[in-house]
Amino acid sequence: MSARESSIDSIQRELTAFARRARHKASQLHPDLSLVTYSILDLVNERGGCRAADVAAYFMLDKSTVSRQVGALERLGLLGREADPDDQRGQILHPTAAGLTLLREANEQRRLSFAERFTGWADADLERFAEYLTRYGTED
């Protein structure tokens, strides 16, 4: 196996482990919240509200999957809808006050967890890692 293939295998293994830890952390935030539902709530908040179709496109999910997840968030009181002012047939999703509180608390927990995890990292290493993750996330 070449060094490049070995590196790709290592990256795959580490990203898989990262995703598993992220799913576990999401379940600790709220017992009825999956990583998918949490991610949807976070995206809707980040965008200042958006349509379910926008969520589906962003995460490359089927619209029915997004619909189920949005319904779960609504039943938990974390997400609400309002008529789209540009198209009365459409609806804009927005986090509720409870959803915003959950997101703030989760963000603080994540920030503390990451700060602890990166304690021994040099600033330059941390900066490079952030650049690499951004690059990886924007390439198709």
For Cα atoms 127, 134, 78, give the angle at the middle one, nearest 5 degrees: 110
4 pLDDT band, cuts 50/70/90, is very high
pLDDT digit string, tens, across residues 38-91: 899 999 999 999 999 999 999 999 999 999 999 999 999 999 999 988 887 889
* pLDDT of amino acid 132: 93
Domain ranges across the chain:
3-102
* pLDDT of amino acid 140: 62
CA distance 9 to 108: 32
Sign of CA dihedral 49, 80, 56, 59: positive
pLDDT over 70 at 116, yes or no: yes
Collect all residues with Cβ–Cβ distance below 8 Å to 29 and sequence separation of at least 6.
Answer: 38, 102, 105, 106, 109
**Contact by Cβ (8 Å): 95, 55:** no
How large is the average pLDDT for residues 1-28?
Answer: 86
Q: Read off the pTM.
A: 0.78
HSE toward the beta carbon, residue 99, CA cutoff 13 A = 27
3-102 maps to CATH 2.40.50.140: no
How large is the average pLDDT for residues 22-40?
Answer: 80
